A and B are shown apart, each in its own frame.
Chain A
Amino acid sequence: MTNYEHDRAVDLIMRRGVEDIAARDAAWLESHLSRCADCAEYAHLAEGTGELLRSVAVTASPALVAATQARVRARAEELREHQARVFLVAVSFCIGVLSSTLSAWLWWKFGGWVAERIGLPASYVAPGILLFWLLPAIVIAVLMLAFPRPLLERSFMISLGGEREGEKR
């Protein structure tokens, strides 16, 4: 007998019982097992392993199942809330971008109109409006660069929030 035959027999032994094997293959396997003691022993061992493994009773306790279901539900709720927050932030961002673009355009037009009225050249008006538009962001950026720690530290932000709450009271 060749190695190929033994390999084929082992493959069929592993597959039978779970997968459909052709009647011709099943007949060939039976014939091979009747002639090959090693493969027959392997088939017997595989059958015994399967029987013993299937007879092992492992059950999940109802408490474990209930605890898992509760954890999954709580996490699903968390994820849903997180998703809603992300959606709100995304919508706010889009509205912010739209409104700032629109207002920038309006200011630009307004500046042009004022410049036309008072007779100023556009080369003065355009940088002026740009500076006016960017100034708050520039000031905040400079402040953050100058005082990086207190402005960025969480404790500072929290204390700021606490003070504000205290002021309200």
Chain B
Amino acid sequence: MVATAFSALAVMETEEAQIARGLRRRDPDLLDALIEQYQHRLLRYLLHLTGNRATAEDLFQETWLRVLEKGHLYDGRNRFVTWLMSIAHNLAIDHLRKRSPDSLDEMREPEDGAAFEPEANGPSPLDVAVARQEHEMFDAALSKVRPLFREVLVLRFQEQMKLEEIAQLVGIPVATVKTRVYRGVMALRPALKGGAQ
């Protein structure tokens, strides 16, 4: 098992190193492949962060342009996805600060709301309707959670990132990440309890 873990680590290191080399060369084929590979994760993260599909799509493109331009700064020591998300995070924060310089809490845009398509997860129409209602309640509750908390919730629970990776990505101490995750989860309590009933 230890050997498997070591070989997996070695493969990961090789992949990250290959990406770093490709980015230094600004290899267009590599960038195409990376865009394909991380398209959904990146858009999902940006969508949760901004709450607006059009903004998220603009930032999606800007993020990849930034990856191209700043690719030489990626050293391959950390996971590429963490570096990618940190670029997206910085762009989103810049964008949102321009829109609302005082506070990131005010950054939800008017067309917020049913941005996410819930997956059908029940066999019967009734199950589908119930699941959809739960998702809608959850989405509504999630949209009310402060973006700072929403971001770490998405990174932790959806992107399955380690607390240390989130801290590195967002540029905050691990203790702050834990506080945000805790408070984010607690902010969703009414929606989760309502959904469970």
**Bind each other:** yes
A binding-site residues for B, Cβ under 8 Å: 10-11, 14-15, 17-19, 42, 45-46, 48-50, 52-60, 64-65, 67-69, 71-73, 75-76, 79-80
Q: Is the CB of A75 within 8 A of B65?
A: yes
A contact residues around B163 at 8 Å (CB): 14-15, 19
Give the contact-size bracket for chain B: 35 or more
Q: Is the CB of B178 within 8 A of A67?
A: no
8 Å CB contacts to A: which residues of B47-74?
A: 47, 57, 60-61, 64-65, 68-69
- Chain A: minimal CB distance from B117 (Å): 5
Q: Is the CB of B192 within 8 A of A45?
A: yes
Q: Is the CB of B36 within 8 A of A49?
A: no
A contact residues around B91 at 8 Å (CB): none
Q: Name which residue of chain B comes closest to A17, CB basis.
A: B160
B111 on interface, CB distance cutoff 8 Å: no
Q: Is the CB of A49 within 8 A of B161?
A: no
- How many angstroms between the C-alpha atoms of A118 and B29 in the bound complex? 70
Q: When the two chains form the complex, which single residue of A17, A58, A72 contacts B117, counting CB atoms closer than 8 Å? A: A58
- How many angstroms between the C-alpha atoms of A71 and B31 in the bound complex? 11
B contact residues around A57 at 8 Å (CB): 116-119
Q: Is the CB of A18 within 8 A of B156?
A: yes
A contact residues around B121 at 8 Å (CB): 55
B binding-site residues for A, Cβ under 8 Å: 26, 28, 31-32, 35-36, 39-40, 42-44, 47, 57, 60-61, 64-65, 68-69, 115-119, 121, 134-135, 138-139, 142, 153-154, 156-158, 160-163, 178, 181-182, 184-186, 188-189, 192, 195-196
28 A-B residue pairs with CB within 8 Å: A14-B178, A14-B181, A18-B156, A19-B163, A42-B185, A42-B186, A48-B192, A48-B195, A49-B185, A50-B157, A53-B158, A55-B118, A55-B119, A56-B44, A56-B117, A57-B119, A59-B40, A60-B40, A60-B43, A64-B60, A65-B36, A65-B39, A68-B35, A69-B35, A72-B64, A73-B31, A73-B32, A79-B26
Q: Is the CB of B68 within 8 A of A53?
A: no
Q: Is the CB of B135 within 8 A of A55?
A: yes
Q: Which among B39, B154, B184 has the greatest number of chain A C-beta atoms within 10 A?
A: B39
Question: Which 3 residue pairs across A and B have the least CB separation, nearest first?
Answer: A50-B157, A60-B39, A58-B44
Given A10-B178, A48-B196, A57-B119, A68 and B156 contact (CB-CB distance below 8 Å) = no
Q: Name which residue of chain B comes closest to A64, CB basis.
A: B57
Q: Is the CB of A72 within 8 A of B31?
A: yes
Q: Is the CB of A46 within 8 A of B64?
A: no
- How many angstroms between the C-alpha atoms of A53 and B47 in the bound complex? 13
Q: Is the CB of B65 within 8 A of A71?
A: yes
Q: Name which residue of chain B comes closest to A43, CB basis.
A: B185
Q: When the two chains form the complex, which single residue of A14, A15, A68, A73 contacts B61, counting CB atoms closer than 8 Å? A: A68
- How many angstroms between the C-alpha atoms of A54 and B31 in the bound complex? 26
Q: Is the CB of B185 within 8 A of A76?
A: no
A contact residues around B40 at 8 Å (CB): 58-60
